[in-house]
Structure 1
Amino acid sequence: MTAKRIVVVSSGLSTPSSTRQLADRLAADAVSILAGRGVEAEVQTFELRDLAHDITNNLLLGFAPPKLEAALDAVAAADGLIAVTPIFTTSYAGLFKSFIDVVDTQALTDLPVLIGATGGTPRHSLAIDYAIRPLFTYLHAQPVTTGVYAATSDWGGTGAAGEGDGVRSLPDRIYRGAKDFADLVERTDRSSLVRDPFALEGPSGHLIGGLAGE
């Protein structure tokens, strides 16, 4: 059986980053769950802070430099995407949205997506459902039911992950989200997805004035 390809995208700006920490834990649980079912998974992780200049250049010029192109190709070929962003001003980070803007519009079709977010206060947890989930739904991806939000206070909590009905601790939420994601990844087959070889690589709005005034 061919290994499932999981791509992790983290848009944390600091090093070390709680956003990257959450992304790594989501990926680790998803891989562990799939392994328990006899499904091998390969994980490839991209830190968007390392691609920030390339993303900007792509938005301005319409061409992806090699490192960014590798990330975009990985997303297009993935069987599942774990996307984690910090929450700034009640919504996703600008760097996160800019990366999504340069992803081919067909690349996310039917792609299982596990959404993660981090922030200073639990009050911003709803951003997953009112800001991030609609973004991936619009792009015809398959965002899993459980999104995982981690506030600063969550990182000091304890508790073992499990499948109980009372999902409260961060490890519990990570496990639940990873399980929902693994369920989708396991049964998803994107090998037959045909991309248009003549499609523009990246957004075309700037070519027709769609980004004028932005």
Structure 2
Amino acid sequence: MTTRTVAVVTAGLGQPSSTRLLADRLAAAAARELGPSTSIRVIELRDHAHDIVNAMLTGFPSPALREVIGAVTGADALVAVTPIFNATFSGLFKSFFDVLEPGSLDAKPTVIAATGGSARHSLALEHAMRPMFAYLRAAVTPTAVFAASEDWAGGADAGSDLDARIGRVARELAAALDGRTATAAPDPYDDPVPFEQMLAAGRPA
């Protein structure tokens, strides 16, 4: 069985960070959908910040950064997660993708995700991140995932809506890798209880 690799790039600045937490949950969902032969590589950009800046200034990545770039460009799929600062992706996140060689993400199945203080920042996924990855010619999944502070209000495992979005994007990623159509989660409103039946249930016996 061929091992498929997923590179997870996370640009959180703190340790721990909600950005890394979202990245880990996306990685776990992708691994479940893709099966046991999946290899996940998580890359914390904060660990390579100085090398990224040096590569932008000199045009030459260090050996450590070159290995990270190779892991991203050589992976079968990419999950890219950034915090939202001033209505867009972080400078560290953008700088990393700026040092990639042109064409290195061509047609790569890619999930985009972000974290922010409130849900109103979620549009950054569509007005900033998706256009950037379109320019890089990555094959971005239809669903993007945003996690606001309220999604973590009940702890790391909270947020059924967030879970649903993560599950949906994981299915889309698996479908992109397998060349099949993603199957949607069952809609609880597809088979409603008839109104007459609800009225009958409310009548006294």
| TM-score, length of structure 2 as denominator length | 0.83
Match of 1:193 in 2: none
Secondary structure at 1:150's aligned position in 2?
strand
- C-alpha displacement of 1:178: 1.2
Could you tell me how far 1:141 is from its partner in structure 2? 0.6
Instruction: After superposition, give the CA deviation of every residue in 1:26-73 in whole Å (9 maximum; x if it has no partner).
Output: 0100110111xxx62101111000000000000011111111111111
**Relative CO higher for 1 or 2, CA cutoff 8 Å, sep ≥ 6?**
1
CA 1:117 to 1:27, structure 2 compared with 1: closer, same or farther past 3 Å? same
Runs of 4+ deviating beyond 3 Å: 157-160
Normalization by structure 1: what TM-score? 0.80
How far 1:159 moved relative to its partner? 5.6
Supply the AA of the counterpart residue of 1:46.
I
Distance in 1 separating the partners of 2:159 and 2:129: 27
Helix, strand or coil for the counterpart of 2:152? helix
1:174 to 2:166 alignment: yes
Partner in structure 2 of residue 183 of structure 1? 175
Q: Which residue of 2 aligns with 1:102?
A: 99
Q: Which residue of 2 aligns with 1:19?
A: 19
The percentage of aligned residue pairs carrying the same residue is 49
Alignment RMSD (CA, Å) = 1.4
User: After superposition, what is the alpha-carbon deviation per residue over 1:75-106, rounded to whole angstroms, capped at 9, x for unaligned?
Assistant: 11111000000000000000000000001111
Cα distance, 1:170 vs structure 2: 0.8
Cα distance in 1 for residues equivalent to 2:102 and 2:175: 24
- Judged with a 3 Å threshold, the aligned counterparts in structure 2 of structure 1 residues 2 and 94 are, in CA distance, closer, same or farther, namely same
CA contact (8 A) 2:108 2:139 kept: yes
Q: Which residue of 2 aligns with 1:147?
A: 144
Q: 2: distance between equivalents of 1:124 and 1:185?
A: 29
1:1-214 mapped onto 2 (5 Å cutoff): 1-35=1-35, 40-156=37-153, 158=158, 169-187=161-179
**Secondary structure, aligned partner of 2:126:** helix
Deviation per CA, 1:184-203, whole angstroms, max 9, x where unpaired? Answer: 12339xxxxxxxxxxxxxxx
**Counterpart Cα distance in 1 of 2:28 and 2:174:** 11
Checking the alignment, whether the CA contact within 8 Å between 2:152 and 2:159 is kept in structure 1 is no
Aligned to 1:204: none
Question: Which secondary structure does the structure 2 equivalent of 1:51 belong to?
Answer: helix
User: Contact 1:155–1:170 (CA<8 Å) still a contact in 2?
Assistant: no
Q: Deviations over 1:136-184 (max 9, x none)?
A: 0111110100000000111125465xxxxxxxx1111111111111111
